[in-house]
Amino acid sequence: MSSREVVVLNVGGVRFVTRASTLQQFPESKLARMLNDDEQEFKLVNGEFFVDRDGTLFSYIMDFLRTLQVSLPTDFSDYQRLQREAEFYGLYPLADLLSQDHLLKPRLEFLEVRFSLQQTRAFFRIFGSCSTTVETLAEQITVFTGQQSGQSWNSPFPSQKPLVPLPLERPSHHDMFFWCGTDYFAGDQFVARYVSIKPDNRKLINGTNVLGLLLDTLLRDGFHLISTRTVSSEEKAECYSFERIKRPAGLTIITHQTPGSSETAGAKRGQVQKGK
């Protein structure tokens, strides 16, 4: 029986087709022992193994066996039931992770953009509840500076003089600050600051244009605009509030197995593959 390459299971009326090697990922589990007729819970009927368990939840069990990752839908809520199923099948590394459901549950993430205009300069302050998101956004934003001649606020392109990239101001892990526009220097000389936001490669000096590109970037990244408000009408300061449901990275089981053993060394965070 264990020499079968393809195995068919009927779990609560839901049919699954998989490789025997997939079911043998954890040799001490009931699914692996089933192939050797060592499990009374499974009945062989017309060439299919039948088990009277939840077929819908078993689809997550199969996904775990195929990928060694725990990656659940955003709206998933049956952590305790899935944990019981994992325990039934003897997949204790999976059951242990599911008992720590705070690692797997999506969380609501907030981000705020404050924008103000002061003469020929525009100021941006971004605060986010998730420091990783703020760090990622900071890596996309570059500020360039240079001394320009005869340039003004509405000049669409930088002069041919080289521009120097500047680091963003990071008061904390949860926020950043930068500005763009021109500042009077002497005579017809101006210090100009341009902003570029990847993957867009333009260098923008007009604050309104930078704001539009920034908001579009956040919307493309899955944020939803939930409110706008005027912080100060005199200073032309506005606040844009965003939120999104952030799906946690998948958890990958790292196994160190010896023949006849399913000892697990632990679990680490891994990237969720596209399409999961």
CB burial readout 72-94, b (16+ within 10 A) else e: beeeeeebeebbbbbebbbbebb
Look at residues 224, 220, 274, 219 and name the one whose alpha carbon lies nearest to residue 249.
274
Judge whether 153 and 135 are in contact, CB under 8 Å: no
Judge whether 218 and 111 are in contact, CB under 8 Å: yes
In sequence order, what are the beta bridge partners of 190? 148, 184
C-alpha 164/C-alpha 144 separation (Å) is: 5
pLDDT number for residue 268: 39
**Token pair for residue 224?**
């939803």
DSSP characters for 114-135?
Answer: EEEEETTEEEEEEEES-HHHHH
pLDDT number for residue 97: 86
Q: With the C-alpha atoms ordered 76, 77, 82, 83, is the resulting torsion angle positive or negative?
A: positive
Residue type (1 letter), 51 = V
Look at residues 245, 239, 237, 276 and name the one whose alpha carbon lies nearest to residue 129.
245
Across the chain, how many H-helices and E-strands are there? 7, 16
Place of tokens 């996309």: 140
6-105 maps to CATH 3.30.710.10: yes
One of 3.30.1410.10, 3.40.50.620, 3.50.30.30, 3.30.70.270 is the CATH number of 108-246, namely: 3.30.1410.10
Summarised one tens digit per residue, pLDDT across range 78-110 is 999 999 999 999 999 999 988 887 777 778 899
pLDDT number for residue 203: 93
**Token pair for residue 63?**
């996904």
Q: Which residues of the chain have pLDDT under 50?
A: 1-3, 151-153, 156, 256-276
Task: Give phi and psi for 115, each to the nearest 5.
Answer: -130, 130
pLDDT number for residue 261: 42
**Token pair for residue 197?**
């936001």
- What residue spans define the domains of the chain? 6-105, 108-246
C-alpha 121/C-alpha 113 separation (Å) is: 16
CB burial readout 193-211, b (16+ within 10 A) else e: bbbbbeeeeebbbbbeebb
C-alpha 205/C-alpha 100 separation (Å) is: 48
